[in-house]
Amino acid sequence: LQQRLSCFAEKASANGDLRRIISESAPHLLQPQSSDDWLWLFLDHCISLLIVLKDVLDASPIVAAPSKPQGPSHHSEAPPAPPNCLGVLQKKTVQGLLQFVVAIGINPNLLPGVGLPLEQRTVSSLPNCSACLLPWQKHRYLVASVRALLMCIQSPVLCSMVLHHHLIDVLAALLQLCHAPIRKITDETGNIKSNPSFASHSSTVPELKSSLAKCRASAPADDISLIQEMLEDRQYLSLDLQHLLETTYQPIIVRELLLLLSSASQLKAKGVSGVKRSPLWLKDICGQLLTQCLLRKGGLAQVILGTFDAWSVDSSGGVVSEKDWQKCEAFAKIVARIPSTKGVTVESYYDGIAPQVVELFLQPQGSSMDKVAFRVACAIVGAMLEEHAEQTSRLVLSKIFSPLFSCIHQQGTSLSANDVVVSEEDLGNCIEVTHKMVSSVDPSHPILTALVPLFPVLFEITISTENTVSYLRKPCEEILSAVYHSQPAGPAMQLLHWCLFKTDCYIPLATPRDDITFVLGSCGGVEAVRRSLPLSDEEWLTRSDQAFLATASVFHHGNLKEPCTKFFVSLLKKLTGAVGELVSKESTGTVLKPTSASELSSQEVKDNLLLLHLVENFADLISETLLQNKVSLLEFVVETLNRVSQLSETLEVSSLALQSTLFCLTLLGLLISGEDMAAAKNEELWQQCDQCLVILAARHSNPEIKNMARHLQVSFASQGVVATPQASRSTNTVSSRAPSRADGGETAHQKKLAAIAAGFNILPVSNCHGTRPSQTLEQQQEVESTQVAAGSSGVPPSPGCVTFEQLWCELHDTMVPVRGHAFIQLRRMLLEGSAEVWQHRDQLLEACRSGIQDEDSYVYLSAIQALAVLVDRDSDHLLPWLAEQLTLEKLSVEARLNLGEVLLRVTKNFGDMAPKYRNLLVNSFLCAAKHSDPVIRSSAVSNLGELCGKLGYSFVPITQEILACLRGLIRDPADLVCHAAVLALGCIIKGMGQKIFKVMPHEVKDIYRELRYLYATTSDSVTKIQAQVAIEELSAATQELLRSQPRMEKRIQILDLYNPSGS
């Protein structure tokens, strides 16, 4: 620095113009310097030169552009630059000057944890400037430096250079000078009066020169004088800070404030040592300033721009990454949370932020940043709904969905003739914004829950677009699907039932007005107009078809089969209830057949016709799906039998009803044969089936149906479905307690919906009465979900009290499903350690040997699993028997393959115990490898490879024998055997891993050569692929060996123990 100052003095004395300019603005620079504080002298020169540069640039006239000279020689010449313009090299020099001011005057004098360290922004070595400075020097140097930068910001030429590179340093210094804690002094000496003329204050050159003069002066008399000086500087600089925040581009301010808040955590994340935490006062003031930026007009959009700029500082191209989206969720929660600033309440904060959020949703999305802002707005609304649902729905969502609210009972106005309630443009824009919101959020987002009260209005609009070319049809269908699938199963089905039949519902819903209808507009959209006449019969039939299409689209766009099946079952339950009411009325003689048009047009008849129409169409829609879900199929059978039972009591059963009953009873028989009755799955449904069968066996007029019902009853009783009274009571107790656990979550969900509806000013539906009348449907849906969860958990249920006699009878049953299920039950009991079954192991071995020879795959696969468990339990005695069975000539090819599968399963279960049975298993597989049938040879060789891969070092004695066998089988004329031999070689390499170089070090090279030769010469594609796989396994083992690190261990050996007795 001393050398640079000497060089500057020489050049200034040599250049007359420079000397003249410096003598006018900073004459002290031309005087000889005798101070030992070279850092301060260098900082003084830098700041003084900035003053000189600013004066020169401000004094330079801004001349107008000269007229373009005529002539062809001047076409390519650029216009001359104005006098106050800096060139590239000049800007670089000035930038270096600014960096020196920051490096010497600002950065070293900041408190720990304030600002962004200069070491993280430059590769140059920085001197330790603050080690020998006293507190008054640090303060004065900081004030002078920050005023110098503020003065440069006032210059049009120097402003961009400071704001783009050093705004964070200016903000950090101003925040420290204006808000850092200062020791309090007494009122008599420390009362600094405010000057009312400071309202439009900004730093000037005289104030900067005054600060420089203070820096050159001596120290303050005492601490009180220093504190008074700091408080006086704080008054002036607070106005500078306010002026800077108001006049600078807001996204840049937001970005720098966020960087100030997160600089310490980012440095810690990078592993930088010695990083101090940001002080609490800095976090508070940054939060207050961000809140002020947020509550200004258009402040939310500016904060979003600045926030994403801050997150993408280090990324290329400004592309928002998935990590930034996670930060976006955190940012949304911060915006939704009420600031802790004094005087800010929930109402005042949401009144200021809500119009800005609405503006983000309604503004056109032209650029990619607009789409980012839209998604951020969705996240903000979701977080606001979580914090304050009622205020959010009233101040934000009600403004966005205002066209929809014009179509409901509570908020619609009185209409005159031919009124257009909502125009096509307004309704189309509302649907498009809603669709964008739904498409931008997760399936469980709170915005989807907020759309639940408006579901009936959206459903009516969707109905009007079905079977049309309206561009709103697909968006409406996707909105309905997303909202439906975001809700629990029970409330979602209640919601759809209310839209179709206006049934009871505990959810507060927006009821569409009866005097309006939705019609197609001239531009392909939909508009709401006044309805003058009620629907005619043809219009009602058309609407029924459209209602089915709208309902089906809910499940079509969701692409979920299970919810669609559940909804179909709920329709069947409603149909059963309607049939029951009709039967009860006809039995009492209170209802006659409708004959007049008024009776035909009654709402009850229309609802029943619509229900039949939906059942018919949904039955065609889910016919394949229903057969794939046993629980739904059982529910279908139960509801059908319930209807038949009701009809058989009073009406004459038609042939179609007889066919349906026979079909359901046949399905029930198949379900019984394939269901594990002792597992107590779907017990409630099976109990309902049993009750239906009791009624059919006692009251049905058809003898064939009676006989089938009685046979199914016997099947139920024999399989333990009909529980004892004690078990029934316990089941009822559990079932009665189960809904209470789910009521807590439903109550919270209901409270949130009520808060949202209150914000929308939507009253509960008229037939709700503030209670939950359709509790039966909810409980049934809970039972269904519980049963499906239990069925899909994969946990094997307890076998119950199945005795060996019953199991033995089922093993020899004539029906294939019974025998297969018996083997599954045998395996389960063996795994649970049943002593009664183990006592009859000899008989079970014969049964399993017969089972693996069965032709049905369900039987022999179950027998294979049971026999493997049986042999695994007593391998010492049963494994030789199993190996002997493999050599019997009387067995068929299929039986030998099944026995080989059993041996393979047992071998896989051995693990480290495989070497114990090496000779027995290897001899069995080698004998089978000489069989005349190529299928048996291939199976034996594959099993041999699996076994040898688990032997490890026990493979050494039989290495040559096994490799010779595999080399011979590779040349076998049967392609299947060749494939199996190469596969076995690959299994050995894979099982050995890097141990292969210790087990057979001399054979590895030959194996590799043979595989490479086989890969190069064979024409069989399967053999080539398997050889390639084996080569890759050998390469992987080689790489693993070469990359393995030596095991670092330390041994402590105790040579002798201390014995106090001396013995």
Structural contact between residues 880 and 917, judged by C-beta atoms closer than 8 angstroms = no
First to last CA, the chain: 80
* Inter-CA distances, 676 with 407, 726, 790, 821, 823, Å: 53, 21, 13, 8, 12
Structural contact between residues 830 and 796, judged by C-beta atoms closer than 8 angstroms = no
* Inter-CA distances, 837 with 808, 850, 918, Å: 10, 18, 29
User: Mean pLDDT, to the nearest integer, of 519-537?
Assistant: 86
Q: Is the pTM of this model over 0.75?
A: no
Three-class secondary structure of residue 35 per DSSP = coil
Q: For residue 673, what pLDDT is reported?
A: 66
Q: For residue 432, what pLDDT is reported?
A: 94
How is domain 798-873 classified at the architecture level of CATH?
Answer: Alpha Horseshoe (1.25)
Q: Quick one: how many helices (H) and strands (E) in the chain?
A: 48, 3
Query: Average pLDDT of the chain?
Result: 76
175 has pLDDT over 80: yes
Sheet holding 516-520, edge to edge: 420-422, 526-530, 516-520
**Nearest one of 341, 353, 430, 433 to 387, comparing CA atoms:** 353
Q: For residue 801, what pLDDT is reported?
A: 39
Q: For residue 799, what pLDDT is reported?
A: 37
Least confident of 185-189, 292-296, 431-435, 458-462: 185-189
Confidence of residue 459 (pLDDT cuts 50, 70, 90): very high
Give me the helix-helix angle, 537-558 and 561-588, nearest 10°: 140
Confidence of residue 473 (pLDDT cuts 50, 70, 90): very high
Q: For residue 743, what pLDDT is reported?
A: 52
Write down the residue that tokens 């339990």 correspond to. 873
Fold (topology level) of 882-892+900-1043 = Leucine-rich Repeat Variant (1.25.10)
User: Mean pLDDT, to the nearest integer, of 282-288?
Assistant: 87
User: Mean pLDDT, to the nearest integer, of 603-612?
Assistant: 84
Confidence of residue 476 (pLDDT cuts 50, 70, 90): very high
Domain ranges for the chain: 1-60+86-183+201-248, 573-586+601-731+744-792, 798-873, 882-892+900-1043
Give the tens place of pLDDT for each residue, 860-907.
Answer: 888 888 888 888 877 777 778 877 777 776 777 787 788 888 877 887
842-881: burial string, b at 16+ Cβ within 10 Å, e else:
eebbebbbbbbbbeeebbbbbbbbbbbbbbbeebeebbee
Structural contact between residues 671 and 634, judged by C-beta atoms closer than 8 angstroms = yes
User: Mean pLDDT, to the nearest integer, of 918-926?
Assistant: 78
Least confident of 107-116, 785-794, 1012-1021: 785-794
List of long-range contacts for 828-831, beta carbons under 8 Å, 24+ apart: 828/796, 828/799, 829/799, 829/802, 830/866, 830/869, 830/870, 830/873, 831/796, 831/869
User: Mean pLDDT, to the nearest integer, of 5-28?
Assistant: 71
User: Mean pLDDT, to the nearest integer, of 849-860?
Assistant: 82
Spatial distance between the Cα atoms of 230 and 182, rounded to a whole number of angstroms: 8
479 has pLDDT over 90: yes
Spatial distance between the Cα atoms of 387 and 380, rounded to a whole number of angstroms: 11
- What 3 state SS string does 154-196 have? CCCCCHHHHHHHHHHHHHHHHHHHHHCCCCCCCHHHHCCCCCH
Confidence of residue 588 (pLDDT cuts 50, 70, 90): low
Least confident of 493-502, 517-526, 707-716, 1028-1037: 707-716
Write down the residue that tokens 């934000």 correspond to. 396
Q: For residue 417, what pLDDT is reported?
A: 55
Confidence of residue 463 (pLDDT cuts 50, 70, 90): very high
Q: For residue 429, what pLDDT is reported?
A: 93
Strand partners, 529: 420, 517
Confidence of residue 53 (pLDDT cuts 50, 70, 90): confident
